[in-house]
Structure 1
């Protein structure tokens, strides 16, 4: 086997390509050969700041949770697909916390004690999967539908985040999407925002307007189905849109403020971008006077299976969001590019 090269963060600005020993799977774990891994905003935050929000790096950690690969050895307990199966990874492990904080049973993404691959939220940290060979629990593995290549499936995890966000806009009792015929505004057209555009198009949005400060994300958003784009839009331009549903994907308070202004009266704002902790300077009174519904969106649950099916049957077109693929040996160049939205969308590492 080839050397087990991996991407490990040690501290702010200290990203290393390391060689790890071959993993030794536990009874419920399969041995995987990772094919591709997408660089996420959280990976960039650990590299640039030594933290992602309130998750502060305190020990060396493998990055990466947007990964796909092939099962080399099935889990001994029979919980994984067979050897040779190509799979996507669901990186979450839901569990309650020690205090017994309540959360809805049908929404495991809200489990307060849950972990996520490549996260410093807990100590010891939850190691990620940016490595050529990893051992992961069989319950995390999702068999790829026939005909869906690993390269196309590499976008499934962030597309699931987007799908979950779109479903937060609400579903009709008949199972149809509330987006059927809706006018949709997306603030922030980075990889997640652009994938929100793609999913909203799949789920029936009539009009899709994407807003960003950079031209490159807007180009990608148009390829994914945006019917209109605005670069560095003014407050007046946003206020004139009157969208039925607005998705805030920038993760910045100014984006949320624009989202409130861009929603029609009685409309809905879904907050997808992760805002920094603490007070935010936003004119929240607009939510009252316009009777807006505000909804948060955090990671995803079973949407991964729906995304894989939609990617396989062609109803979800997401490939344009991937703009560059680098061999893992060039991971520093890949991270530099992924952090520059004027030149890139989603950047993949090939292991």
Structure 2
């Protein structure tokens, strides 16, 4: 290949460096991928700022990035479904495949899952990366590498809507209009939701939501909780939504997910919030609201890819900034500063 494996390596909080990383060699069930596009996620920025997320602590240098796509350049001897030249999206979480959770098909909660850019596992913001064949998804000709990288956040939207039971005719509230809230909006509409309304404390985010298909929005920054719930019910015609998905990862957002659904509705905790919150549990109990949680995704990449290939979902409209791998430090500065109102920042690891 004749090319160094340049990578964006996180050494500790506030210590992200561009440096040469060892060139990987594929095992018999793996493919070597020349990375093409890697999106920057909020969790990447959190690791950069704090050096940890909960119990996951950066203790040694780690390549960052987990929303990724690339082109296969070499295959291990046992690989049968992929060949050099195939465009692929990489699902970041690889489980043990042997525990009871894996055998039951809920591999996202496998206790031994290895996830890109989640210590101690390195991520994909590099020139080259090796990954198991069965967690690489071949992209059809009409799905771009940019779209392939965005399969990862889209899979979160798919998993969230599936957990919430979103379907034909559903009335859906999405709390938080950041990248995950926006892909959840796109997913809910693709799954047949009749009405999807988004809330946020930032007007600019809600303007984006309107442009990509939201049926209504509510700016909540200056309203108290009781007023917010009342206005949400008014927006849904006097009744609460069937499903409320908190994509904000904040205590106010999670409380709203408990309070907003109609009786026998569903509240889904999507965003990663504080370890403990003060929740209006009695209110939810009196309306028999089902409370569900999500952790990443599981068996959702195929559905997400089908949404892209069919044209039912357009994620390209979420990409606001593009940087070369050599500009990764600048890309992360844009992500953390918010200058230019970034939604999804894409790093081009190769042309």
- TM-score scaled by length of structure 2: 0.91
Alignment partner, residue 132 of structure 2: 137
Deviation at 1:73, TM superposition (A): 0.8
Aligned runs of 1:303-314 on 2, under 5 Å? 303-314=300-311
Residues 344 and 238 of structure 1: CA distance in aligned 2, closer, same or farther (over 3 Å): farther
Structure 2, unaligned stretches of length 5 or more? 233-239
* 2:164 aligned residue (160, 164, 169): 169
Mapped pair 1:181 → 2:182:
no
Aligned runs of 1:2-21 on 2, under 5 Å? 2-21=3-22
Alignment partner, residue 350 of structure 1: 348
Aligned runs of 1:156-235 on 2, under 5 Å? 156-170=151-165, 178-233=166-221, 234=223, 235=225
Q: Secondary structure at the match of 2:47?
A: helix
Deviations 1:92-132 (A, max 9, x none): 112389xx786871211121221211111xxxx11111101
* 1:328 aligned residue (308, 312, 325): 325
Distance 2:201 2:103 in 1: 37
Contact 2:95 2:102 in 1 (8 A): no
Distance 2:278 2:314 in 1: 36
Aligned runs of 1:63-78 on 2, under 5 Å? 63-78=64-79
Alignment partner, residue 236 of structure 2: none
Mapped pair 1:112 → 2:111:
yes
Contact 2:220 2:228 in 1 (8 A): no
Deviations 1:252-283 (A, max 9, x none): 11111112222122211111011232x21222
Mapped pair 1:42 → 2:39:
no
Please tell me the root mean square deviation across aligned C-alpha atoms, in Å: 1.9
Deviations 1:288-330 (A, max 9, x none): 1221011111111221111112101101122222111111111
Contact 2:259 2:284 in 1 (8 A): no
Alignment partner, residue 174 of structure 1: none
Q: Secondary structure at the match of 2:125?
A: coil
Contact 1:213 1:232 in 2 (8 A): yes
Contact 1:67 1:88 in 2 (8 A): yes
Q: Secondary structure at the match of 1:285?
A: helix
Residues 104 and 96 of structure 1: CA distance in aligned 2, closer, same or farther (over 3 Å): closer
Deviations 1:38-75 (A, max 9, x none): 11111111100000222111111111111000001122
Distance 2:134 2:148 in 1: 18
Q: Secondary structure at the match of 2:264?
A: strand
Structure 1, unaligned stretches of length 5 or more? 171-177
Deviations 1:168-204 (A, max 9, x none): 012xxxxxxx431122111111111110000000011
Distance 1:163 1:119 in 2: 22
Deviation at 1:238, TM superposition (A): 2.8
Distance 2:310 2:157 in 1: 18
Deviations 1:4-38 (A, max 9, x none): 21111011100111122322222222111111001
Alignment partner, residue 91 of structure 1: 92
